[in-house]
Amino acid sequence: MIGAAYQQGTHVRVIPPEGQTLFSQKGKLLGFSSEFVSILKGNALFICDHHGNTLSTHRYTANQPTKANSSKSVLFYLLFGCLIKIGNAYRLYQFLGRGNAIGTDGGDLNWKNIGIWVSSISFWIICFFAASKMGIIDWCN
């Protein structure tokens, strides 16, 4: 029978009503009853009996940031898209800097660059839409 369980530094100490230590395990105390103790170790929840034997383990996700990695990924893709846009803007600047209006230079219009521009703009729209759906940004809603 468990009388008390308390956090002592990085360990959970479990004692019976009589007062001597039943067991001590490294982890964070989440709760206890007269029969069981729940201890968090990393992102796993261990349910232990009064002898310290593990009865079950569960994945623990509460109070942990779930979108940290996804926001970093979206940021990476947005920066990558920005680099693509800068490169395409330079190519368009070179094209327009020749002094020819689009379509009047003898068919030298580069449809590949226009396709890259369209795909780049589509990429940004998809990134912002995905970020708003994941809750990373809220001003797109």
Residues 84 and 107 in one domain: yes
The 10s digit of each residue's pLDDT in 30-80 is: 989 989 999 998 888 899 998 889 998 888 776 554 444 555 666 667 777
Q: Per-residue pLDDT tens for 6-27?
A: 999 999 999 998 888 899 999 9
Q: Is the pLDDT of residue 103 over 60?
A: no
Tokens at 60, concatenated: 């623990």
State the Cα–Cα distance between residues 35 and 103, nearest whole angstrom.
Answer: 82
Domain that residue 93 falls in: 68-133
Residue type, 58: H
Residue 81 confidence (pLDDT): 72
29: pLDDT strictly greater than 80? yes
Burial category of 11 from C-beta neighbours within 10 Å (exposed 0-12, middle 13-18, buried 19 and up): middle
Between CA 35 and CA 26 the distance in angstroms is: 19
Is residue 138 situated within a structural domain?
Answer: no
Residue 141 lies in a domain: no
Other Cβ atoms within 10 Å of 60 Cβ, number? 17
pLDDT at residue 109 is higher than 90: no
Query: Looking at the structure, do residues 55 and 100 belong to the same domain, yes or no?
Result: no
pLDDT at 100: 54
74 versus 119: which is more confidently predicted?
119
Taking residues 96-116, what's their average pLDDT?
Answer: 61
Query: Does residue 126 lie within any of the structural domains?
Result: yes
Query: Alpha-carbon torsion 69, 75, 76, 78, what sign?
Result: positive
- Residue at 28 is within a domain: yes
The mean pLDDT value for 133-137 works out to: 64
Same domain? For 22 and 79 the reply is no
Sheet holding 28-32, edge to edge: 28-32, 37-41, 44-48, 54-59
Q: Which residue has the higher pLDDT, 82 or 72?
A: 82
Q: What pTM, to 2 d.p., does this model score?
A: 0.45
Position 111: which residue type?
W
Contacts 24+ apart (CB under 8 A), 77-83: 77/123, 77/127, 78/124, 78/127, 81/120, 81/123, 81/124, 81/127
40 and 79 within one domain = no
Are 82 and 52 members of one domain?
no
Residues across the chain: 141
Q: Give the chain's domain count.
A: 2
